[in-house]
């Protein structure tokens, strides 16, 4: 592993550690340190299994469950969870379990994903140690970073029905549930389309108003949760600087999806004859057709 990558990982680890401990002031159960360490332990467990079965791509199957475990660990280490704490845990559980189950059904029994297979060849006899850091620990860090906004709400909120600024929580939850709708329905429409074996580009349902309804929904989920976390600042549960730091959650997810996942997928979609007309007619992400 090159020195530049090591430096980046170290800086990322320190930054996340500061986030997990509220700037080093909440080291015990009153911070997110336990949730962070458990996330790394969780991905270490997946690494051990992946090494035994020689399939590093199973890390993708465990991605959603990482958030579920992180949420429940946070809840169990929260002294006085509120109604909002339980709502967020329930929401993350439904979202994360559905995501992992879908990926397990889709990939179970298949060979190692070509991306990980290529890395295995590239890394040669050092594949185990390199994969541990560049695949499993890297995904563990990202998993916690994205989930940190949900964990912070679970841990620090003082929400109660009828409180001032409660409408912000309601708006955030509505946005998150709308995102879940787009993700679940979009995935199901795609699954049924593939099952029919038509060999054509899906252009109906939610796919008629956005080329990536599932990714649009994913981004909405984390934006909605981040909006919910604004109540932490308004009730003086966390400092404004901490709230600003939590913006990494929706920003990171948005960047990964729009700069990595979507370009890769659209390269594949471009193989369809209908692609150019579909691309011109349907927006990439936000289901609004802007007039030129």
Q: Are residues 170 and 138 in the same domain?
A: no
From 152, 110, 116, select the one nearest 26 (Cα to Cα): 152
Q: Are residues 1 and 145 in the same domain?
A: yes
In the predicted structure, residue 2 carries a pLDDT above the cut 80: no
Q: Let me know if residue 214 belongs to a domain.
A: yes
Q: Are residues 103 and 222 in the same domain?
A: no
Q: Are residues 2 and 129 in the same domain?
A: yes
Q: Let me know if residue 72 belongs to a domain.
A: yes
Q: Let me know if residue 13 belongs to a domain.
A: yes
Global pTM? 0.93
Q: Are residues 66 and 134 in the same domain?
A: yes
Residue 290, pLDDT score: 59
Burial of 161 (0-12, 13-18, 19+ CB in 10 A): exposed
Q: Let me know if residue 82 belongs to a domain.
A: yes
Q: What are the pLDDT digits (tens) for 122-139?
A: 999 999 999 999 999 999
Q: Round the average pLDDT of the chain to a whole number and report it.
A: 93
Q: What are the pLDDT digits (tens) for 143-191?
A: 999 999 999 999 999 998 888 889 999 999 999 999 999 999 999 999 9
Q: Let me know if residue 86 belongs to a domain.
A: yes
Residue 262, pLDDT score: 93
Q: Are residues 163 and 147 in the same domain?
A: no
Helix (H) or strand (E) holding 18: helix 3-20
In the predicted structure, residue 292 carries a pLDDT above the cut 90: no
Q: What are the pLDDT digits (tens) for 70-128?
A: 999 999 999 999 999 999 999 999 999 999 999 999 888 899 988 899 999 999 999 99
Q: Let me know if residue 117 belongs to a domain.
A: no
Between CA 17 and CA 12 the distance in angstroms is 9
Domain count, the chain: 2
Enumerate residues 6+ apart whose C-beta is below 8 A from 61. 100, 103, 104, 107
Q: Are residues 147 and 185 in the same domain?
A: no
Q: Are residues 166 and 98 in the same domain?
A: no
Q: Are residues 130 and 27 in the same domain?
A: yes
Q: Are residues 165 and 23 in the same domain?
A: no
In the predicted structure, residue 18 carries a pLDDT above the cut 80: yes
- Quote the longest CA-to-CA distance of the chain: 60
Q: Let me know if residue 114 belongs to a domain.
A: no
Residue 85, pLDDT score: 97
Q: Let me know if residue 37 belongs to a domain.
A: yes
Q: Categorize the per-residue pLDDT at 142 as very low, low, confident or very high, splitting at 50, 70 and 90.
A: very high
Q: Are residues 232 and 143 in the same domain?
A: no
Q: Are residues 53 and 3 in the same domain?
A: yes
Q: Categorize the per-residue pLDDT at 220 as very low, low, confident or very high, splitting at 50, 70 and 90.
A: very high
Instruction: Work out the average pLDDT over 206-218.
Output: 96
- Domain of 250 in residue numbering reads as 158-292
Residue 291, pLDDT score: 52
């Amino acid at each position: 592993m090159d020195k530049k990558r090591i430096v980046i990982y170290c800086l990322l680890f320190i930054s996340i550690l500061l986030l997990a401990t509220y700037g080093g002031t909440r080291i015990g159960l009153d911070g997110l340190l336990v949730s962070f360490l458990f996330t790394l332990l969780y991905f270490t467990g997946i690494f051990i299994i992946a090494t035994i079965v020689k399939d590093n791509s199973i890390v993708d199957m465990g991605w959603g469950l990482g958030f579920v475990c992180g949420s429940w660990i946070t809840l169990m280490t929260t002294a006085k969870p509120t109604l909002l704490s339980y709502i967020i845990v329930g929401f993350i559980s439904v979202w994360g379990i559905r995501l992992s189950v879908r990926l397990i059904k889709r990939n179970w029994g298949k060979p190692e994903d070509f991306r990980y297979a290529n890395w295995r060849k590239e890394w040669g006899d050092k594949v185990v140690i390199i994969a541990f850091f560049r695949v499993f620990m890297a995904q563990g860090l990202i998993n916690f970073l994205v989930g940190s906004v949900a964990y912070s709400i679970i841990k620090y909120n003082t929400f109660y029905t009828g409180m001032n600024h409660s409408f912000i929580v309601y708006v955030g939850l509505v946005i998150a549930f709308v995102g879940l709708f787009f993700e679940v329905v979009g995935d199901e429409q795609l699954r049924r389309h593939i099952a029919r074996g038509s060999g054509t580009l899906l252009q109906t349902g939610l796919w008629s108003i956005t080329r990536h309804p599932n990714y649009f929904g994913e981004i909405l989920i984390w934006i909605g949760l981040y909006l919910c976390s604004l109540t932490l600042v308004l009730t003086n549960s966390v400092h404004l600087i901490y709230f600003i730091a939590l913006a990494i959650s929706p920003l990171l997810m948005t960047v990964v999806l729009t700069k990595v996942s979507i370009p890769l997928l659209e390269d594949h979609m471009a193989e369809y004859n209908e692609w150019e007309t579909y691309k011109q007619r349907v927006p990439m992400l936000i289901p609004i057709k802007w007039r030129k």
